A = this chain, B = another copy of it.
């Protein structure tokens, strides 16, 4: 990753014959290869760039996208709510551009596995390219299947839904899950949250929990510390629940 003065970031894979064109001049990949992390590099117009490894958050924010992506502020919290860590098996309904898929693949490590479903081929191809970029394709199964026909896995401890009409697939989700497993979903509207909660009650889920996360950045000026002028007001409502052996009102 190269960070220009002013903060604009460029994430790229270096190849000897290529060059990086920016609003602050051109950089030859050849000149970057072998440089240490944390070094300052200059473009042909003498603008400085900082060469730095992208954090997982940087990579997630630079996911190439054809759809709304989930932000790092939500993703970090989802990992903790679904206990996704080294060795986990995770199922994802709705691959989309693959930002959350990438985070899951990174968190489960080489012993874990991510099973992701989307019915759109173009989305799966995009997600594949996003995963390939950071070398995580071999931890992920990308399935071109409609979630309506069910997931192929069983006894899953962590399952996440990021789909239109997510409330329609709670039966399929429950069938794939172990007793006690953790379910999560992101839903854009309050109406969808209501429908999702209604369906949860009848589908052997319990402990429903709804929240939203707001992240506010500050201008990092020590003499003039103040929040940025504008912020993201909404990405989605997060809903979590736990799989139980019998319906809530049994």
Contact = CB atoms under 8 A, between A and B. Distances in A.
Residues of A in contact with B, size category: 35 or more
Query: Chain A's interface: helix, strand, loop or mixed, by majority?
Result: mixed
Nearest to A188: B226
- One complex includes copies of this chain to the number of 4
A145 interface: no
Contacts of A110: 86
A72 interface: yes
A244 B86 contact: no
**Which of A55, A208, A227 has the most B CB atoms < 10 Å from its CB?**
A227
A104 to B, nearest CB: 11
A218 to B, nearest CB: 4
Contacts of A131: none
A198 to B, nearest CB: 4
Interface stretch (A26-34, A77-85, A90-98): A77-85
